[in-house]
Amino acid sequence: MPKFVYDFTEGNKDLKDLLGGKGANLAEMTNIGLPVPPGFTITTDACRYYLTHGRTPEGLDNEVAAHLEDLEQAMGRKLGDPGDPLLVSVRSGAKFSMPGMMETVLNIGLSDESVLGLAKQSGNERFAWDAYRRLIQMFGKTVLGIDGEHFEDALDGAKQAKGVASDTQLTAEDLKALVSAFKEIVAEHAKRDFPQDPRDQMDLAIKAVFESWNADRAILYRRQERIPADLGTAVNVVAMVFGNLGDDSGTGVAFTRDPGTGAQGVYGDYLQNAQGEDVVAGIRNTVPLQDLERLDKASYDQLMQIMRTLENHYKDLCDIEFTIERGKLWMLQTRVGKRTAAAAFRIAIQLVDQGLIDMDEAVNRVSGDELARLMFPRFDVSGDVTRIAKAISASPGAAVGKVVFDSAAAVAWADRGERVILVRRETNPDDLPGMIAAQGVLTSRGGKTSHAAVVARGMGKTCVCGADELTVDTRGKKFTAPGGVVVSEGDVISIDGTSGVVYLGEVPVVASNVVQYFEGTLAPDNDELVAAVHRIMTRADEARRLGVHANADNGPDCARARRFGATGVGLVRTEHMFLGERRQLVERLILAGTDEQRQAALDALEPLQRGDFEEILEAMDGYPVTIRLIDPPLHEFLPDLTDLSVKVALAGDDATEHDRQLLEAVRRLHEQNPMLGLRGVRLVLLIPGLLDMQVRAIAAAAAELTKAGRDPRPEIMIPLTATVQEMEISRERAEKVLQAVAAETGVHDEIPIGTMIEVPRAALTAGEIARSAEFFSFGTNDLTQMTWGFSRDDVEGAFFSPYIDMGIFGVSPFETIDADGVGRLVRIATEEGRATRPGLHIGVCGEHGGDPASVWFFNEVGLDYVSCSPFRVPIARLEAGRAAIVSAGSDTR
Ligand code: PEP
Ligand code: MG
């Protein structure tokens, strides 16, 4: 029979799949000798069983009973013993941290009887009754599903009756009365009494934690963070320790380094005489952790020592939760902490310099997504800006938007296309939808460890918190800044999550330092972050096997791509050169009634094309440039059918001859499904002269540069090929043109001719096609749409989000390659193409070329390069390096 329960002494940090992050790390801390209250973990297997079958697995009850007995023995007390009760907490803890999204119940084991025992043993009657009312409140809400407002209202009522502001001012007698009121709330709303049997309490709490895996906000959070829906949560049952026994007790959270910048130091918040989630909830004002040194020097020193031990042990930034019970320090949680993108790069390099990790590990500690965040623009405050507050820089970025004051408004406004900033006094897990919808989050309370800060940082969302200079009036939908500035719903503000400054109105943005570094305008040693990026990129480039090319269609874009580290252009979309004023020339080509007219139109286009190619080849001198012949259907260059019909109809007899001809052509070329019509190689083969013109322009541009002593390396790429015959005919024609240009110019440039693989049939017959194609480039945009049978232009808005909700995809297959389906075609084509033509050069130029997860896939399949937009080039370089390092590591293991 499988084992469902692990004592803390039995687990370790590598068992996160089974024990969840919290359980695995509690076990790890226990085993390295840190002061962790005894406890045990119920596995995620048990949770998954429960969620599938609606009941706990057989044997779980007995295992829990046995571990509870051990726990009771270790503590020398029995759960809920009327004379001297052992109390436990029942805490959720999944593999990936989901801050505040699932449930926890504290103080299990208290009852009408044992509360008296607790009062006696602790010598603190008020404490005992406070613990009991918290239990009923949490249990009522979490386990029995009663609306938390009922308890809040009763608590507020008690405070009002007493004329006090804080619950700490309520006496034992007040709390006793509150317990009775809470029990009545339970009886009324749950139609049952609050359970007095401690084991009953525990079992119900365990099931409630299992069920909280599927709470709405947990589901939403997982979707946002791309956490798989089927992992389930573990449950930790831990002996209670109390931070609310008086001023010699308290609870806090801390980071071993600043999660915003990576700087080493003491970062955290402490709350005296408090229990559980009071700190993270940002409800009462905390003090900086440094103050603990003054309040309780011994505990402070011990905590600092433990934080050093943890950093050296995990070799990373850790965050922790701790409680001090009457001067005794207890560790309640640790994990490798979430951090901002900038801190991730800085910390990785700091750890290398401290000798804790090597450069390969440093490369693995950061990600392309984080690098992308460092490339976002920042505010340019050199002009006239109105600063209205400065607060805590909780999660970096530059966000501009209209102010809204609640989550629902944020969602509604964002749905109609507005950019919004969510402004709250503090956030709680129910604000998650609004946080996701907003550009940024601003709160007037709470520190770096408040809910808003932790969640925003996890999502990479800009956040400024603890702006206590601002008076936020959520009911009145406005906030007031110092000097009487009133900002109402709909007014625009700008928030800088890097400096913590809030501005009125829209502040302009400029390129980030990291982008300036990639552009070559900022030296790497100018700033710590840029230096860290430089060192990590250097190592990634050394390690990677994949080349990184760019998709670019003009000189400046190519030049930028080259500065960003591209060593080639993987896709020039030549149709992009037929837009703007040149559209008329294409129109003339389409309307041509005679061969002469058609040739005249092509002759007019050719020098323009040649000029484009020269510019591109020059910018990429010495590197391959894969130029794709025209792809889209011709009607894309003509006016819209409806517009033109209306125009001609309205003009009646006055319609120009040109418009009539145009309308006739538009009707003739109209396609029901242009994606699958006359486009790509079909167009190239059927419109006489088009291929010749483009190939001649490429060859002539190259010859010109070669003559000038440059090193142009164009490649000709045929789009949308489905069969080798298409390839053979286009190749034959292209070769003829190349020979003619060579004869005219006397320059014999090697110009390979290859094809896109973007039709399933091409992938399946790649062995044949490779006889005629000298290289392949996967067009995974078309390959995805044709493999799935859905149009890339129509479906993302139409049904992707319900499909993601239904779990049909984890992520859009247009974003991350569908490895099992589309990826299988990529594999087949690669293997069979290379079987025909050993060493066949193969790349990918669909959007997936710049997507981190897809880059790993293409590395594994053995492609030669990925090609993506210039701004994604550094991201692809980094991910290609990471993929190579990890696969080298797994080869030797
Ligand atoms: C593709 O289909 O993946 C591709 C790169 O071509 P386009 O996006 O231009 O159709
Ligand atoms: Mg395509």
Q: What is the 3-state secondary structure (H, E, C) of 428-475?
A: CHHHHHHHHHCCEEEECCCCCCCHHHHHHHHHCCEEEECCCCCEEECC
Alpha-carbon distances of 114 from 3, 68, 144, 750, rounded to whole Å: 32, 18, 21, 89
- CATH number of the domain to which 565 belongs: 3.20.20.60
pTM, full prediction: 0.84
- The whole-angstrom separation of Cα 116 and Cα 127 is 11
- Ligand 1 pocket member 722 (CB < 6 A): no
Alpha-carbon distances of 109 from 194, 203, 270, 686, rounded to whole Å: 12, 11, 27, 82
Bridge partner list, 268:
254
Using most ligand atoms within 8 A of CB, pick from 579, 629, 676, 756 the residue to mutate for ligand 1.
756
- The whole-angstrom separation of Cα 531 and Cα 351 is 14
Instruction: Count CA within 13 A, CB hemisphere, residue 392.
Output: 25
Task: For residue 377, report the distance from its CA to the centre of ligand 2, in Å.
Answer: 31
Residue by residue, DSSP assigns 258-327 as -TTT--EEEEEEEEET--GGGTTTT-S--EEGGGHHHH-HHHHHHHHHHHHHHHHHHTS-EEEEEEEETT
Which residue's structure tokens are 């709350």?
Answer: 271
Bridge partner list, 323:
251, 330
Mean pLDDT confidence for 276-297: 79
Please give the pLDDT value at position 454: 76
- Asked if residue 776 belongs to a domain, the reply is yes
Taking every pair of C-alpha atoms in the chain, what is the biggest distance, in angstroms?
106
Using most ligand atoms within 8 A of CB, pick from 551, 569, 571, 572 the residue to mutate for ligand 1.
571
CB 36 within 8 A of CB 309: no
Identify the residue whose C-alpha is closest to ligand 1 atom 10.
782
- Asked if residue 665 belongs to a domain, the reply is no
Out of 547-556, 571-580, 797-806, give the one with best mean pLDDT.
547-556
Please give the pLDDT value at position 279: 60
Alpha-carbon distances of 295 from 36, 319, 327, rounded to whole Å: 22, 21, 10
- The whole-angstrom separation of Cα 851 and Cα 179 is 55
pLDDT band per the 50, 70, 90 thresholds, residue 892: very low
Instruction: Count CA within 13 A, CB hemisphere, residue 497.
Output: 33
Out of 113-117, 157-161, 637-641, 667-671, give the one with best mean pLDDT.
113-117
Identify the residue whose C-alpha is closest to ligand 1 atom 4.
779
Q: Please check whether residues 464 and 520 belong to one and the same domain.
A: no
- The whole-angstrom separation of Cα 697 and Cα 33 is 73
Q: Please check whether residues 302 and 351 belong to one and the same domain.
A: no
Is residue 860 pLDDT above 80, yes or no? Answer: yes
C-beta neighbour count of 486 within 10 angstroms: 12
- The whole-angstrom separation of Cα 887 and Cα 890 is 5
Alpha-helix runs per DSSP H in 652-688: 657-669, 681-686
- Asked if residue 445 belongs to a domain, the reply is yes
Walk across the sheet containing 471-473 and list its strands: 471-473, 478-481, 485-488
- The whole-angstrom separation of Cα 188 and Cα 192 is 8
Residue 468 in tokens: 């206590």
- CATH number of the domain to which 285 belongs: 3.30.470.20
Residue by residue, DSSP assigns 504-531 as ESPPPEE--HHHHHHHTSS-GGGSHHHH
- Atom nearest to 777 CA in ligand 1: 5
Provide the percentage of residues in the chain whose pLDDT is more than 90: 75
Identify the residue whose C-alpha is closest to ligand 1 atom 1.
779
CB 303 within 8 A of CB 321: no
- Atom nearest to 782 CA in ligand 1: 2
Please give the pLDDT value at position 524: 92
Between β-strands 233-239 and 250-257, what pairing exists: parallel, antiparallel or unpaired? unpaired
Mean pLDDT confidence for 397-416: 94
Identify the residue whose C-alpha is closest to ligand 1 atom 9.
573
Is residue 411 pLDDT above 90, yes or no? Answer: yes
Using most ligand atoms within 8 A of CB, pick from 551, 553, 573, 759 the residue to mutate for ligand 1.
573
Is residue 278 pLDDT above 70, yes or no? Answer: no
- The whole-angstrom separation of Cα 261 and Cα 201 is 43
Task: For residue 199, report the distance from its CA to the centre of ligand 1, in Å.
Answer: 61
Residue, of 794 and 703, whose pLDDT is higher: 703
- Ligand 1 pocket member 37 (CB < 6 A): no
- The per-residue pLDDT for range 186-207, each reduced to its tens digit, is 999 999 999 999 999 999 999 9
- Atom nearest to 847 CA in ligand 1: 3
pLDDT band per the 50, 70, 90 thresholds, residue 626: very high
The ligand that comes nearest to the alpha carbon of residue 553 is 1
- The per-residue pLDDT for range 514-547, each reduced to its tens digit, is 999 999 999 998 899 999 999 999 999 999 999 9
- Ligand 1 pocket member 572 (CB < 6 A): no
Q: Please check whether residues 87 and 178 belong to one and the same domain.
A: yes
CB 628 within 8 A of CB 715: no
| Beta strand spans in 43-196 (E) | 78-79, 85-86, 88-94, 104-108
- Ligand 1 pocket member 759 (CB < 6 A): no
- The whole-angstrom separation of Cα 516 and Cα 525 is 13
CB 375 within 8 A of CB 396: no
- Ligand 1 pocket member 575 (CB < 6 A): no
- Ligand 1 pocket member 496 (CB < 6 A): no
Q: Please check whether residues 43 and 149 belong to one and the same domain.
A: yes
Alpha-carbon distances of 411 from 80, 215, 428, rounded to whole Å: 45, 19, 16
Q: What's the mean pLDDT when you consider all of the chain?
A: 92
- Ligand 1 pocket member 782 (CB < 6 A): yes
List the domain range (segments joined by +) for residue 487: 376-510
- Ligand 1 pocket member 439 (CB < 6 A): no
What DSSP character marks residue 36?
A: -
For the ranges 86-90, 804-808, 853-857, which has the lowest average pLDDT? Answer: 804-808
- Ligand 1 pocket member 411 (CB < 6 A): no
CB 541 within 8 A of CB 565: yes
- The whole-angstrom separation of Cα 228 and Cα 219 is 10
- The whole-angstrom separation of Cα 761 and Cα 829 is 10
Task: For residue 366, report the distance from its CA to the centre of ligand 1, in Å.
Answer: 29
- The whole-angstrom separation of Cα 16 and Cα 43 is 10
- The whole-angstrom separation of Cα 782 and Cα 785 is 5
- Asked if residue 655 belongs to a domain, the reply is no
Residue 318 a catalytic site member: no
Please give the pLDDT value at position 575: 86
- The whole-angstrom separation of Cα 518 and Cα 520 is 5
- Atom nearest to 778 CA in ligand 1: 3
What DSSP character marks residue 630?
A: P
Is residue 283 pLDDT above 70, yes or no? Answer: no
Q: Please check whether residues 444 and 503 belong to one and the same domain.
A: yes
- The whole-angstrom separation of Cα 860 and Cα 852 is 13
- Asked if residue 782 belongs to a domain, the reply is yes
What DSSP character marks residue 203?
A: H
Which of 183, 204, 239 is the last residue before a domain boundary? Answer: 239
- The per-residue pLDDT for range 582-614, each reduced to its tens digit, is 888 888 988 888 999 999 999 999 999 999 999
- The per-residue pLDDT for range 816-848, each reduced to its tens digit, is 999 999 999 999 999 999 999 999 999 999 989
Q: Please check whether residues 210 and 284 belong to one and the same domain.
A: no
Task: For residue 780, report the distance from its CA to the centre of ligand 1, in Å.
Answer: 7
Using most ligand atoms within 8 A of CB, pick from 782, 788, 854 the residue to mutate for ligand 1.
782
C-beta neighbour count of 419 within 10 angstroms: 16
C-beta neighbour count of 879 within 10 angstroms: 30
| Beta strand spans in 261-397 (E) | 264-272, 287-288, 318-325, 328-336, 378-379, 386-390, 392-395
Q: Please check whether residues 517 and 383 belong to one and the same domain.
A: no
Task: For residue 76, report the distance from its CA to the centre of ligand 1, in Å.
Answer: 69
The ligand that comes nearest to the alpha carbon of residue 866 is 1
Bridge partner list, 329:
324
Please give the pLDDT value at position 260: 81
pLDDT band per the 50, 70, 90 thresholds, residue 284: low
- The whole-angstrom separation of Cα 541 and Cα 878 is 7
SS (H, E, C) 550-605: EECCCHHHHHHHHHCCCCCEEEEEHHHHHCHHHHHHHHHHHHCCCHHHHHHHHHHH
CB 254 within 8 A of CB 232: no
Q: Please check whether residues 686 and 778 belong to one and the same domain.
A: yes
By C-alpha distance, which of 342, 307, 305 is closest to 321?
A: 307
Please give the pLDDT value at position 757: 98
- The per-residue pLDDT for range 714-762, each reduced to its tens digit, is 999 999 999 999 999 999 999 999 999 999 999 999 999 999 999 999 9
pLDDT band per the 50, 70, 90 thresholds, residue 460: confident
The SS3 assignment for 228 reads: coil
Q: Please check whether residues 204 and 227 belong to one and the same domain.
A: yes
Q: Could you tell me which residues come within 8 angstroms of residue 65 by beta carbon, excluding any fewer than 6 positions away?
A: none
- Asked if residue 111 belongs to a domain, the reply is yes
- Asked if residue 567 belongs to a domain, the reply is yes
- Atom nearest to 571 CA in ligand 1: 5
Identify the residue whose C-alpha is closest to ligand 1 atom 8.
781
C-beta neighbour count of 521 within 10 angstroms: 11
- The whole-angstrom separation of Cα 687 and Cα 177 is 89
Which residue's structure tokens are 């959007």?
Answer: 847
Mean pLDDT confidence for 670-687: 87
Q: Please check whether residues 388 and 428 belong to one and the same domain.
A: yes
Q: Please check whether residues 169 and 52 belong to one and the same domain.
A: yes
Mean pLDDT confidence for 662-688: 87
CB 780 within 8 A of CB 817: yes
Helix axes 583-591, 657-669, angle to 10 degrees: 80
Instruction: Count CA within 13 A, CB hemisphere, residue 834.
Output: 14
Domains: count for the chain: 5
CB 695 within 8 A of CB 737: yes
CB 329 within 8 A of CB 297: no
Q: Please check whether residues 358 and 499 belong to one and the same domain.
A: no
Q: Could you tell me which residues come within 8 angstroms of residue 675 by beta carbon, excluding any fewer than 6 positions away?
A: 782, 785, 791, 792, 793
- CATH number of the domain to which 412 belongs: 3.50.30.10
The SS3 assignment for 683 reads: helix
- The whole-angstrom separation of Cα 259 and Cα 341 is 9
Instruction: Count CA within 13 A, CB hemisphere, residue 773.
Output: 36
- Asked if residue 791 belongs to a domain, the reply is yes
- The whole-angstrom separation of Cα 406 and Cα 421 is 10
Which of 502, 530, 558 is the last residue before a domain boundary? Answer: 530
Residue 463 a catalytic site member: no
- Atom nearest to 785 CA in ligand 1: 2
Please give the pLDDT value at position 893: 37
Task: For residue 181, report the distance from its CA to the centre of ligand 2, in Å.
Answer: 67
Element (H, E) at 843: strand 841-844
Q: Is 387 exposed, middle or buried (0-12, 13-18, 19+ CB in 10 A)?
A: middle
290 residue type, one letter: Q
Is residue 232 pLDDT above 70, yes or no? Answer: yes
Mean pLDDT confidence for 845-857: 95
- Ligand 1 pocket member 717 (CB < 6 A): no
Q: What is the CA radius of gyration of the chain?
A: 33
Of the residues 150, 451, 635, 841, which is catalytic? Answer: 451
- Ligand 1 pocket member 269 (CB < 6 A): no
194 residue type, one letter: F
